[in-house]
A = this chain, B = another copy of it.
Amino acid sequence: MTDTTLTPASPAPARRGGGREGRRALRAAPMASFPTLVREIPVYNLVPDEAVELIHEESMRILEEVGCEFRDDEALAMWQAAGADVSGTRVRIDRALLMELVSKVPPEFTLNARNPARTVKVGGRNTVFVPMYGAPYVRDLENHRRYGSLEDLNNFHKLAYMLPALHSSSSICCEPMEIPVPKRHLHIIHSALKHSDKPFMGIVTSKERAEDVMKMAGIVFGEDYVKDNTVLVSITNCNSPLVWDSTMLDAMKVYARHNQPLILAPFALCGASTAASAVGAVAQVNAEALAGVAFTQLVRPGSPQIYGQFMVTVDMKSGAPMGGTPEAAQMMFLMGQLARKYRLPWRTSGFHVGSKLNDAQAGYEANMLMHAAILSGANYVWHVAGWLEAGLCCGYSKFVTDAEQLVGWYKYAGGLSFADFKEAMAAVREVGPAGHFLGTQHTLEHFEKAFFIPSIMDFNSFEQWSAEGAKDHDTRGREKARAMLNAYEEPKLEDGIAEGLRDFIARREEQLPNSVN
């Protein structure tokens, strides 16, 4: 019940905590970003607390009796030193030890952007929206599907910068496929830092690359600053069932030591990498995520971390992952209830779909998940722009479509305004039966801000829409993306910093091979 408005303004007082005050400040002057979303609506608890405890109990038993694999000698030594039962690569973790480690994670943290006005908070009632990550393909401005390029990646970072409800630029929205794999991370991070001033994401494919990311962050934020201050978020996926592999553990060690949060999120294909049971899948994923969270606290106690999940069901006919299914939504609610039990910031995914196109399927799938993400109280809502084909493809039209929808979700989660309720009721008295409200003082004062009005969606009459070319939503989305890119202005880095990044990349490119072997 707050007075939420959606007029973006500058400077966004993110460091002052967003929320009611932040939104008030927003009205001052126009700018292209919303502060952290502070949820003013209650969370939805799908199951009673006893059910949450039942799942927790089974997760604890998995880690105590079955254990989890940690495929890294240093990690195993750390677990042994902490008192876990280590046998080969198998680590059995007693619930007391596990929960003690988990309790060290701060329930909320600040994620600093290179532009302080874009700094956001993660955890508690705070929610941030983050574009997709990891697509080898793009669906381009001509609606062709092809490999992603560095130009595409630049474009997605430009759009992420311009779209006000996106709180991060992500990093690998699409893969720049023309760049050799060993050098790719340099250009990905450079693109994110150069084209946008919002928070970004790290690279986790090797220890060396993670260290390069930290060095580049150091050039932008200051080498000392990034030893303690959180400036990026990275994803580590447990290899379900119950394996944390050496690549992920290497990345965890690099980033956690720098106080940079990992998302500890099993990527679960429910029915294949978990049992064919929504509740069973949650219990397993919870065990996997908690084991990862606990490990980060061996690396650096008190470092910020993000508990999480990515769970999709599997199509029995094709074995393919499915996006917006009812079970995916239900599992999300359970993970939210568990995250609150553990007082952990947590991540889920919003608009991720199986559809190949930005069509009706995409829309149905996307909003099934986003509604659940908002009501389950997720803090880091990822993959909320661009995602198609179960993550294999990033679409330009989908990117701007999703981001526009986020404005509506931002408003939704901001809650209902009772601020002008008495005035509104006075208007009812003024108008009386059989009148209309278009000319009342209340309407004139409130109309523009009262309701969400999207721009890519079309609500014109059929005749008007036909006169404008009878374009479907996908077409309008591509037009909007193109128009935005034409209007883009770079939020330039200081000359010295820009040069520092270029020098670093040039030096590393000389050192690194072009082939992975």
* Chain A contacts to B: CB under 8 angstroms: 1, 41-42, 44-47, 51, 54, 58, 61-62, 65-69, 90, 137, 145, 239, 241-243, 270-281, 283-284, 313-318, 320-327, 329-330, 334, 354-368, 371-372, 375, 389-390, 392-393, 397-398, 401, 405, 408-409, 411-412, 415-418, 420-421, 423-425, 427-429, 431-438, 440, 442-443, 446-448, 450-453, 456-462, 464-465, 470, 472-474, 477
Contact = CB atoms under 8 A, between A and B. Distances in A.
Nearest to A408: B326
- Shortest 10 CB-CB distances between A and B: which pairs? A363-B363, A280-B424, A326-B412, A367-B367, A242-B433, A277-B424, A275-B424, A313-B451, A371-B371, A361-B473
A477 B364 CA distance: 13
B69 A434 contact: yes
A394 to B, nearest CB: 13
A1 B47 contact: yes
A241 B360 contact: no
A420 B275 CA distance: 10
Nearest to A358: B360
Nearest to A451: B313
A508 B405 CA distance: 51
Contact of A462 (B42, B145, B431): B145
The oligomer's copy count stands at 2
Contact of A54 (B46, B66, B418): B418
A271 B437 contact: yes
B280 A318 contact: no
Contacts of A371: 367-368, 371-372
A451 B417 contact: no
B428 A66 contact: yes
Contact of A315 (B366, B408, B459): B459
A24 to B, nearest CB: 19
B473 A360 contact: yes
A354 B458 contact: yes
B271 A69 contact: no
Given A44-B44, A314-B451, 12 more contacts: A67-B433, A271-B437, A271-B447, A272-B438, A274-B437, A276-B442, A276-B450, A320-B460, A326-B452, A327-B452, A356-B465, A359-B473
A14 to B, nearest CB: 22
B437 A276 contact: yes
A381 to B, nearest CB: 15
B1 A51 contact: yes
A203 to B, nearest CB: 25
Contact of A62 (B65, B315, B415, B428): B428
Contact of A275 (B62, B326, B418, B440): B440
A311 to B, nearest CB: 11
Contacts of A427: 275, 280
Nearest to A274: B437
Given A411-B326, A458-B355, A464-B318, A241 B431 contact: yes
14 contacts: A1-B51, A42-B46, A47-B416, A241-B435, A275-B427, A276-B447, A278-B451, A283-B428, A316-B447, A330-B412, A334-B416, A360-B473, A360-B474, A361-B456
Contacts of A477: 360
A306 B37 CA distance: 37
A178 B361 CA distance: 34
Contact of A428 (B280, B452, B474): B280
Contacts of A446: 275-277
Contacts of A1: 47, 51
Contacts of A278: 416-417, 450-451
Contacts of A284: 428
Contacts of A462: 137, 145, 356, 389, 392-393
A242 to B, nearest CB: 4
A67 B54 CA distance: 53
A174 B14 CA distance: 51
Given A275-B424, A327-B451, A356-B458, A364 B401 contact: yes
A429 B473 contact: no
A65 B378 CA distance: 44
B433 A243 contact: yes
